Amino acid sequence: MADSPTQTGMDPEIFSQFIDQLQRYVRERLIPAEDVVIANDRIPDDLVDEMREMGLFGLTMPEEYGGSGMNVPQYVETIRVLSYALPAYRSITSINLGMVCSALKNSGTEEQKSEWLPRLAAGEIACFGLTEPGSGSDSAAMATTAKRDGNGYVLNGSKRYITNAPHAKLGLIMARTNDEALPRNAHVSAFLVPMDSDGVSVGKPDRKMGQSGSHIADIYLDDVKIPGNALLGGEEGRGFATAMQSLDNGRLSVAAASCGYARRILDTAVKYATQRKAFGEPISQFQLIQAMLADSQAEIYAAECMLRDASTKADRGKAIIECASAKMFASEMCNRVADRCVQVHGGAGYLAEYEAERFYRDSRIYTIYEGTTQILQLVIAKNMLREFAAGAAA
């Protein structure tokens, strides 16, 4: 498949200045506030407002809709820099940027873009409703339905593990518009659902292993009536394709988060190793400690290179294999780096007093959401085989 033209994106000099500003903001504002976020399990309102003022909710929105108009590599680099701090800071913005905005830009009507993109760019929070109690990657098992009702639809069902559901103003909800499991998932459609609609309710935020300050919850849809223009793109049967296209950006975001957080974790391990003494010298002088640090550095570098390559290719067109590979490798890498950080800390790494324990818990989700490692292995292999078959038939 021929590549499409690379998106122009933000002016490189302006982008470089923005990244310098963001790095300072991460270290001077976001990291010092982490203890407060963890203690209260929420980001303070003043910080969220500051993030809105910096444009962090509109990075990928076109400029005509109030966004920054970043291309994919710029967006991914911004997420990587932001993710040096607590994961909650990325989480509050990422669904807007990598999932819902992508779906609107790729599949929305002009009316839908004009209504929602400026609001999302200004900082209204969105959520992405695909997963259900009995359905995640298996769309054939999706139980949420959207039945025709005059010129509109009535939605019934529930969604599970939905990031930002407790705060969202808009939900991009996947639902069945056909009772049969049709080929290429054509039984699934996507709907733009205001979260204050009658019949929409959100469950209590789930308690989690890590990622304090980031909230997930169930969404319940009980005879939710929505107009016909809430159907994304105005066409039934394209919802799952839209979701999968959006997941490429979502997977790059998780890969970037894994790289950014792994760098923070390794910096912490290096600092501890140079300060902690055993047998009269810093443990950083012990070769087996050095081996763990070196392995971590090499893996982070490899993941960063994959991330840059995948984001560049995604900017030119479809990059399913590259995005899935980058997310799979980077997320597994981050888990390994977090594990080594605990090991470098020794007994202290098991105590909540030290950051290593929190890093270990926070990182574990990266190999699960936006496609588990095992699902991504299937995605990569199936697309490899599909490309081989197409080449053999040519």
370 is catalytic: yes
Beta strands in 50-169 (DSSP E): 126-129, 145-149, 152-163
Give, in order, the Cα–Cα distances in Å from 2 to each of 5, 316, 319, 386.
10, 9, 12, 16
The DSSP string of 220-258 is EEEEEEE-GGGBGGG-TT-HHHHHHHHHHHHHHHHHHHH
| Beta carbons of 209 and 361 less than 8 angstroms apart | yes
Round to whole Å and give the CA distance between 205 and 166.
Answer: 7
Selected catalytic residue, list 53, 353, 370, 387: 370
Tell me the CA end-to-end span of the chain in Å, nearest whole number: 13
Residue with tokens 């929409």: 200
Round to whole Å and give the CA distance between 90 and 93.
Answer: 6
| Beta carbons of 145 and 157 less than 8 angstroms apart | yes
CA angle at 384 for the pair 380 and 388, rounded to the nearest 5°:
175
Residues annotated as catalytic are: 370
